[in-house]
Homo-oligomer: A and B are copies of this chain.
Amino acid sequence: MIEIERKFLLTSEAFKQVAENSTHIIQGYLNADPNRTVRVRITDKKGFLTIKGKSNETGISRFEWEKEIDFSEAKELIKLCEKEVIEKIRYEITSGTHIIEVDEFFGNNEGLLLAEIELNDENESFLKPDWIGKEVTGDPRYYNSFISKNPYTLW
């Protein structure tokens, strides 16, 4: 399928007061090349393998293939990943008819907050809370695959 997604920096942590739930995520890359990223993700109880293609010219749309995989197998596959594995908490906030996902990063990426919103088409509008800041859609520095090799605290 095609993932259509816009990405933003945050102006504050006010999102935490309205977050409906949060998930602890650990993820690593079997390939961090933006032309063919291969990601292993572990949440509290589940494992996922995700393959993404290159973004289109707007940076908004990208081929994505994802499968849930066995939790213990995912933990084995994480060990094969390139350095560094990313650790973050993902918060979900309903905004109008959309869900905004905010990632709070830890470890080498402490201090980084990123909001993502998935859309049905590139031009779809959405309700933007006031804690949403500068748009960084398509900026390769804010790809998790880039961050895994270039930790935020070293920028």
Please list the residues of chain A having a beta carbon within 8 angstroms of any beta carbon in chain B: 30-31, 33, 35-36, 38, 49, 51, 53, 63, 65, 67, 69, 73, 76-77, 80-82
Contacts and interface: CB of A to CB of B under 8 A. Distances in A.
Nearest to A81: B36
A51 B63 contact: no
B77 A65 contact: yes
Contact of A31 (B38, B76, B77): B38
Contact of A30 (B36, B67, B82): B36
A80 B36 CA distance: 6
B30 A80 contact: no
Contact of A76 (B30, B65, B73): B65
A19 to B, nearest CB: 33
Contacts of A31: 30-31, 33, 36, 38
A32 B81 CA distance: 13
A82 to B, nearest CB: 7
Contacts of A53: 80
A126 to B, nearest CB: 28
Given A30-B38, A36-B30, A80 B63 contact: yes
